[in-house]
């Protein structure tokens, strides 16, 4: 089995938090040639821009996961850079979690719909648009990966123990939906040697995770990347933590 991570990787939500840490850590790996670092407002992505200035592997792309025009343009730009080669890894990382408006007692239709749109519809449309590139260079020995960044909040079985941040129920519902999507993709794309997994990265100190989280974001990113390098076709459809341990659906 070959290391499935690289040479070409795409990360959504790459301007801050875990997405930025992924780009930072992936850019240090010698076998990674291209990192497509997607964010919705490149002009405001200062840290990412600075990182890319010192590392020619990093290509910053504008991609609001709710915007089809952005998606179309991003696919064209990735195709141009790859010049006939395939994409090896798609990390569906961008997501949202609001502090209010998504509680069961205070349900705001717009806020609920936005969680669905960003956290489920976005990853589905992005994987769909990049599928031809993910299929291109994948084989049994080196499958392409779709990594859906999920959460322990997305476990239906453990919902009672895990609870919900700020009483936001939309977030966990969307991550459970994302996990279901992982299962569908793992069935539908296994013949094309595409492995789809859901991964809980741990509770991390980011804007979403807050400063109360026990783990530094770099630690989370590094252990996810380490685990991804050991993924094989046998892992297709799994929901795992950042060390590769099974999580309950």
Ligand X SMILES: NC(=O)c1ccc[n+]([C@@H]2O[C@H](COP(=O)([O-])OP(=O)(O)OC[C@H]3O[C@@H](n4cnc5c(N)ncnc54)[C@H](OP(=O)(O)O)[C@@H]3O)[C@@H](O)[C@H]2O)c1
Binding positions for ligand X, rule: CB under 6 A: 12-13, 15-19, 39-41, 64-66, 93-96, 118, 149, 151, 200-201, 203-204, 206-209, 213
When the beta carbons of 21 and 233 are compared against ligand X, the nearer one is 21
Q: Which is nearer to ligand X, 52 or 95 (CB)?
A: 95
Nearest-approach distance from CB 94 to ligand X, in angstroms: 3
- The residue nearest ligand X at its CB is 17
CB of 143 to ligand X, least distance (A): 22
- Nearest to ligand X of 170, 233 (CB atom): 170
Q: Report, in Å, the least distance between residue 2 CB and ligand X.
A: 27
Residue 235 is given by DSSP the state G
- Cβ atoms of 171 and 33 within 8 Å: the answer is no
**Complete DSSP assignment for 153-222:** GG-STTHHHH--GGG-HHHHHHHHHHHHHHHHHHHHTGGGTEEEEEEE--SBSSTTT-TT-SB-HHHHHH
In the complex, what is the shortest distance from the CB of residue 150 to ligand X, in angstroms, rounded to a whole number? Answer: 7
Please say which residue, 64 or 235, places its beta carbon nearer to ligand X.
Answer: 64
204 closest CA partner among 17, 15, 16: 17
User: 138: closest CA among 196, 187, 81, 94?
Assistant: 196
């Amino acid at each position: 089995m070959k290391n499935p991570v690289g040479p070409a990787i795409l990360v959504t939500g790459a301007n801050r938090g875990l997405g930025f840490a992924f780009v930072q850590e992936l850019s240090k790996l010698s076998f990674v040639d291209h990192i497509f670092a997607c964010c919705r407002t490149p002009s405001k992505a200062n840290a990412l821009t600075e990182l890319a200035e010192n590392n020619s592997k990093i290509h910053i792309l504008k991609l609001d996961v709710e915007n089809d025009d952005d998606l179309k343009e991003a696919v064209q730009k990735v195709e141009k850079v790859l010049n006939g080669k395939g994409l090896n890894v798609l990390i569906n990382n961008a997501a949202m979690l609001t502090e209010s408006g998504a509680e069961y007692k205070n349900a705001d239709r717009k806020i609920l719909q936005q969680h669905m749109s960003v956290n489920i519809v976005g990853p589905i449309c992005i994987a769909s648009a990049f599928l031809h590139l993910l299929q291109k260079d994948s084989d049994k020995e080196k499958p392409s990966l779709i990594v859906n960044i999920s959460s322990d909040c997305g476990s239906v079985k453990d919902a009672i123990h895990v609870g919900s941040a700020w009483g936001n129920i939309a977030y966990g519902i969307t991550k459970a939906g994302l996990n279901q999507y992982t299962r569908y993709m793992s069935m539908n794309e296994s013949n094309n040697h595409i492995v789809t997994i859901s991964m809980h990265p741990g509770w991390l100190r980011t804007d979403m995770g807050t400063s109360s989280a026990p783990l530094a974001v770099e630690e989370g990113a590094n252990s996810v990347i380490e685990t991804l390098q050991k993924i094989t076709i046998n892992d297709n459809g799994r929901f795992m933590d950042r060390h590769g341990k099974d999580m309950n659906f």
